[in-house]
Structure 1
Amino acid sequence: MSLNTISIAPIINKTTLKKKGDYYSVCWIKDDIASIEIDKKVYKNISNSIFFLNARIDWKIKKKITTSSSGYVLYLPKEVLNNPLLSQLHINEVVLFSKNEIPKINLAPGIEKRIQSILEMLDELIGSHLKHKDDAIISLLNTFFVYCDGQCNIKSIISENSSKKNIVYKFKKLADKRIVELHEVNEYAQLLNISSSYLNECVKEILGVNAMQIITEQRIMRSRHELKFTNKTIKEICFDLGFSSPDYFSYFFKKHTGTAPSSLR
């Protein structure tokens, strides 16, 4: 598959309109954006977020008057998700680019900086003539989607018609804020005033996994980040992330990744 039809553009103009053609659109909105209009519905207060839009959805972004870039729009041909490296991602399992729903994620500051770096590298690569350019583009796309998926399982849906989706959204937000102290499904269920079985039912229906898998995914994602991007000792990371002991942290990490924490470093 040729990747020549992948394109990316910074959000600079006062109004950014959807590109013509059968493309998925990924809109990363950094700041200085007044609104995004999706199928004639206007959404405001959307800084530090990413929208995943089907080719059949009409959209336009209205920018405040600034001279700097306020994010990126990435255009992907549909067949790009059939690439072997991307085809197994959770983004395909949950039908990310659905024509009936509008997936949106809100980015934490740390994740936002990494997303920006990835998109800037994509922008540079797509316009280059480097050897192995296609492999590098796919690798960066994979990293981009993995970060997005880890942020909130790409399922914070802009929707008002499903109480289960709202429960899953609230659960994900709670896990993001309190994962260091809360590690059991029943703890989150109590905060949401529902039973553990119903929370699992909601998560399974919306995301295709159980609630404990989401908790585990968050703990692993944070562990990976601390191991790769900080100078903390494994013992410090262990206690900072709420694990009971370094031995249990090593056991937990190796069980779920197949790699010892020391090996990742």
Structure 2
Amino acid sequence: MKAGAVNISKITNAITTSQQPDSYAVCWIKNEVMDVEIDNVFYENVSNSIFFLTPNCHWKIIKTDQTSHAGYMLYLSREILNHPQLSNLHINQVRLFSQGEIPLFKLSPGIELRTQAILEMIDELLGSQLNHKNEAILSLLNTFFVYCDGQCNIKSAISNNNAKANVVYSYKKMVDKYIFKYHDVAEYAQLLNISPKYLNECVKGVLGVGAKHIIIEQLLMRSRHALKFSNKSIKEISFELGFSSPDYFSCFFKTHTATTPSALRKS
């Protein structure tokens, strides 16, 4: 990783403007921000939100309270976004760093805390001399974007008139809401009053993967977090995620990660 390919800074000043005009920027707003101005458009009520900004954007963040930091600015080079570990993420495929409407995502409280923790770890690693820190930073960036993708309102990045995009947006919201109950594409298709074939066609056309992949991705994201950051037993996690048995959960997890839940927990 080249020097300066990834940089991060806390939003502490009364007014923050772009410090790296050649970089893509991810603006994570925690709180204490009056408004954000991007290309002469003002955004208010932006607490617990993320903006994705291209190098050609002109932006300014205005704080209300100068005694604490209001979030982070994460700067990424094109080289980093094209890295094999990040380039195939859905978040790139829906072009969050677009030249059109600026995507703004409101984060749920749980996701907000996780994204904050990830950005804090990136900040710490960038200032360290640890071995293999570049690999760790890339891994954290990958996790950060996966969480963002889980919140992704693709209607912000794709035309609202695109019927298939609207279907995928509704599908992703339903998967996020009902993942503990439904694991089959057909069940979500029924909720959306469309056929499983058409749902799969929409997801494939917009995201380039099958509809089942979205379900699997959500299950893996939630199971990894539970295994790493909770004291719940594997049995408890399996039932909470809607699996019929711990053995089925372990088989599913190993099939898609090449490791077992117990091995991940020990790592």
TM range (shorter): 0.7 to 0.9
1:234 is displaced (CA, Å) by 1.6
Find the counterpart in structure 1 of residue 229 from structure 2: 229
Q: 1:132 to 1:233 in 2, by over 3 A?
A: closer
How do 1:40-51 residues align onto structure 2 when only pairs under 5 Å count?
A: 40-51=40-51
1:214-235 Cα distance to aligned partner (Å, 9 max, x none) = 1121112111111222222222
Find the counterpart in structure 1 of residue 112 from structure 2: 112
% of aligned pairs identical?
59
1:11-40 Cα distance to aligned partner (Å, 9 max, x none) = 223332233521101011112333333333
The answer (yes or no) to whether the contact 2:91–2:148 under 8 Å persists in 1 is no
- Amino acid of the residue matched to residue 17 of structure 2? L
How do 1:124-135 residues align onto structure 2 when only pairs under 5 Å count?
A: 124-128=124-128, 132-135=132-135
Find the counterpart in structure 1 of residue 156 from structure 2: 157
The answer (yes or no) to whether the contact 2:5–2:79 under 8 Å persists in 1 is no
Helix, strand or coil at the partner of 2:69: coil
1:68 is displaced (CA, Å) by 1.5
Please, which moves more after superposition, 199-208 or 231-240?
A: 199-208
The answer (yes or no) to whether the contact 1:35–1:62 under 8 Å persists in 2 is yes
1:164 is displaced (CA, Å) by 3.1
Find the counterpart in structure 1 of residue 102 from structure 2: 102
Q: Size of the alignment, in residue pairs?
A: 264
1:116 is displaced (CA, Å) by 1.2
How do 1:14-53 residues align onto structure 2 when only pairs under 5 Å count?
A: 14-53=14-53
Q: 1:70 to 1:251 in 2, by over 3 A?
A: same
Structure 2 length normalisation: TM-score?
0.84
How do 1:176-255 residues align onto structure 2 when only pairs under 5 Å count?
A: 176-255=176-255
Runs (5+) with no aligned partner, structure 2: none
- Amino acid of the residue matched to residue 24 of structure 2? Y
Structure 1 length normalisation: TM-score?
0.85
1:135 is displaced (CA, Å) by 4.1
Runs (5+) with no aligned partner, structure 1: none
What is the distance in 2 between the residues matched to 1:46 and 1:164?
Answer: 28
Q: 1:257 to 1:16 in 2, by over 3 A?
A: same
1:66 is displaced (CA, Å) by 5.2
Q: 1:248 to 1:129 in 2, by over 3 A?
A: closer
Q: 1:230 to 1:130 in 2, by over 3 A?
A: closer
The answer (yes or no) to whether the contact 1:3–1:134 under 8 Å persists in 2 is no
What CA RMSD, in Å, does the superposition of the two structures yield over aligned residues? 2.7
